[in-house]
Amino acid sequence: MNVSAPRKVLVLELAGLGDGVHLLPALWRLRQHWPDAELHVMVSAGVTGLFQLTPWLQKVWAYPTNPKPGLAGNWRWGTQLRAERYDCVINTTGGDRASLLTWLTRAPRRVGRRPSDGGPPGWRRLFTETLDIPYWIEPMFAQKLRCAAALGCDVPASALHAPHFEIVIDPALRAAAGVTATDEHRYFHISPFTTAAARELPLTQIAELIGRLGSAFPQLRVALSCAPSGREIERMDQLLDLLPAAPWRIWKGTLTVPGLAAVIEKSALNFSGDTGSLHVALMTGTPAVAWFRSHRGEREWIPPGSRSHVLIAPGGAADALHGIDTGALVNAAADILAVTGARR
Tens-place pLDDT, residues 48-64: 999 999 999 999 999 99
* 131-162 burial: b if 16+ Cβ within 10 Å, else e: bebebeebbbbbbbbbbbbbbebebeeebbee
Residue 302 lies in a domain: yes
**Average pLDDT in the 290-315 region?**
92
Number of structural domains (the chain) is 2
CB proximity list for 289: less than 8 A, separation 6 or greater: 269, 270, 271, 308, 309, 310, 311, 329, 332, 333, 336
pLDDT (0 to 100) of residue 316: 65
Q: Are residues 73 and 197 in the same domain?
A: no
Which pLDDT band, with edges at 50, 70 and 90, does 343 fall under?
very low
- State the Cα–Cα distance between residues 341 and 344, nearest whole angstrom: 6
Q: State the helix-helix crossing angle for 326-340 and 203-216, rounded to 10 degrees.
A: 40
Instruction: State yes or no: pLDDT of 344 exceeds 50.
Output: no
Q: Are residues 202 and 130 in the same domain?
A: no
Cα angle value 272/282/117 (rounded, 5°): 85
**Average pLDDT in the 17-39 region?**
98
Q: Are residues 217 and 145 in the same domain?
A: no
Which pLDDT band, with edges at 50, 70 and 90, does 3 fall under?
low
Q: What is the identity of the amino acid at 296? A: R
Q: Are residues 134 and 187 in the same domain?
A: no
Residue 40 lies in a domain: yes
**Average pLDDT in the 220-228 region?**
97
Residue 2 lies in a domain: no
Q: Are residues 199 and 264 in the same domain?
A: yes
CA distances for 271 relative to 139, 174, 227, 278, 340, angstroms: 19, 18, 15, 8, 15
Q: Are residues 180 and 328 in the same domain?
A: yes
Last residue of a domain, one of 104, 137, 160: 160
Residue 260 lies in a domain: yes
Instruction: State yes or no: pLDDT of 38 exceeds 70.
Output: yes
pLDDT (0 to 100) of residue 133: 96
Q: Are residues 187 and 129 in the same domain?
A: no
Percentage of the chain modeled with pLDDT above 90 = 90
Say which CATH number the domain at 179 has: 3.40.50.2000
Model-wide pTM > 0.85:
yes
Q: Are residues 204 and 303 in the same domain?
A: yes
**Average pLDDT in the 1-8 region?**
76
Q: Are residues 88 and 182 in the same domain?
A: no
pLDDT digits (tens, 9 = 90+) for 75-90: 999 999 999 999 999 9
pLDDT (0 to 100) of residue 317: 79
Percentage of the chain modeled with pLDDT above 70 = 98
Q: Are 329 and 209 in contact (CB under 8 A)?
A: yes
**Average pLDDT in the 261-270 region?**
98
Instruction: Please give the torsion angle defined by the CA atoms of residues 330, 162, 29 and 266, in that order, rounded to the nearest 10 degrees.
Output: 40
Secondary structure of 264-324 in HEC code, one letter for each residue: HHCCCEEEEECCHHHHHHHHHCCCEEEEEECCCCHHHCCCCCCCEEEEEECCECCCCECCC
List the single range of 45-49, 99-103, 261-265, 313-317 with lowest mean pLDDT. Answer: 313-317
Q: Are 58 and 11 in contact (CB under 8 A)?
A: no
Q: Are residues 138 and 220 in the same domain?
A: no
Q: Are residues 151 and 249 in the same domain?
A: no
Instruction: State yes or no: pLDDT of 43 exceeds 90.
Output: yes
- State the Cα–Cα distance between residues 225 and 254, nearest whole angstrom: 8
- State the Cα–Cα distance between residues 330 and 208, nearest whole angstrom: 11
pLDDT (0 to 100) of residue 228: 95
Last residue of a domain, one of 108, 134, 160: 160
- Residue 87 is part of which domain span? 8-160
pLDDT (0 to 100) of residue 1: 41
pLDDT (0 to 100) of residue 223: 98
Last residue of a domain, one of 140, 160, 180: 160
